[in-house]
């Protein structure tokens, strides 16, 4: 059955899921690039983010690539989609990713402010969902047509789905970086009580990769 998966989600050694002070020049927040060094080293991210060859094979690439396999739809929090807050002033913001975004499929963006769907090149359509996380998941599952749904983040959205036990599997990369402040992914969340166990862990020179799966999740 279709799973809800978090993939390639990176946290710092001190547990933060994003750098602070995200803005148009720092889509990953300050020090976000250091956090994501493992991902930037992979052919998958080089290709998807920058449209270029590069990167190298290995554990990091294995995890990056698995994150794009069998994905039929995406869910993103609004801050993942862009730096605009509050009501949309106009339709000019079209995401961080240029005319041909990395998603190549339906993307459901959680927001409190309605907006018409945005059809991009390469098969990506952004749908703006104002009815909350359950509605977004239902719409994404339907759009995924049997494939899995990937939850892209950010931290707050992942935490909301975690608390509701709706995430089947999470690949988390712990980067050897200290951020000091920001949003802690696991703050106040009792993962074993929610049914999660660590089912896999592997190390690369740039990250400790772990997979957390919920017991009782569909296979």
When asked if residue 21 is in the footprint of a second copy (CB under 8 A), the reply is: no
211 pairs with which residues across the strands? 171, 200
When asked if residue 114 is in the footprint of a second copy (CB under 8 A), the reply is: no
Separation of alpha carbons 114 and 216, rounded Å: 35
Residue nearer to a second copy on the CB measure, 122 or 195: 195
Judged by DSSP in three states, 176 sits in coil
Residue nearer to a second copy on the CB measure, 166 or 194: 194
Separation of alpha carbons 114 and 157, rounded Å: 18
**Residues 86, 89, 192, 216: which binds a second copy (CB under 8 A)?**
192
Part in contact with a second copy (CB under 8 A); list of ranges 107-115, 138-146, 158-166, 203-211:
203-211
When asked if residue 176 is in the footprint of a second copy (CB under 8 A), the reply is: yes
When asked if residue 180 is in the footprint of a second copy (CB under 8 A), the reply is: yes
CA distances from 182 to 19, 103, 123, 140 (A): 6, 26, 33, 28
When asked if residue 14 is in the footprint of a second copy (CB under 8 A), the reply is: yes
Q: Which residues contact 179 (CB under 8 A, 6 or more apart)?
A: 12, 14, 16, 19, 20, 31, 35
Residue nearer to a second copy on the CB measure, 21 or 70: 21
When asked if residue 193 is in the footprint of a second copy (CB under 8 A), the reply is: yes
User: Which residue matches tokens 């945005």?
Assistant: 118
Residue nearer to a second copy on the CB measure, 112 or 201: 201
DSSP designation for 123: G
Q: How far is the CB of 92 from a second copy (least distance, A)?
A: 36
């Amino acid at each position: 059955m279709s799973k809800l998966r978090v993939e390639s989600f990176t946290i710092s050694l001190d547990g933060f899921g994003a750098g602070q002070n995200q803005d148009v020049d720092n889509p990953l927040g300050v020090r976000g690039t250091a956090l994501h060094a493992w991902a930037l080293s992979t052919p998958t991210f080089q290709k998807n983010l920058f449209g270029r060859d590069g990167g190298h094979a290995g554990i990091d690439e294995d995890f990056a690539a698995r994150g794009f396999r069998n994905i039929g739809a995406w869910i993103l929090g609004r801050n993942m989609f862009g730096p605009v807050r509050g009501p949309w002033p106009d339709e000019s913001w079209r995401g961080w990713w240029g005319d041909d975004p990395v998603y190549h499929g339906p993307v459901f963006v959680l927001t409190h402010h309605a907006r018409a769907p945005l059809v991009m090149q390469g098969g990506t359509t952004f749908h703006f969902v104002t009815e909350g996380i359950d509605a977004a998941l239902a719409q994404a599952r339907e759009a995924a047509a049997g494939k899995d749904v990937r939850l892209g983040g950010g931290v707050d959205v992942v935490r909301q789905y975690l608390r509701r036990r709706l995430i089947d599997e999470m690949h988390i990369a712990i980067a050897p970086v200290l951020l000091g402040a920001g949003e802690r992914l696991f703050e106040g969340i009792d993962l074993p009580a929610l049914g999660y166990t660590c089912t896999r862990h592997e190390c690369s020179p740039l990250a400790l990769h772990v997979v957390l799966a919920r017991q009782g999740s569909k296979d």
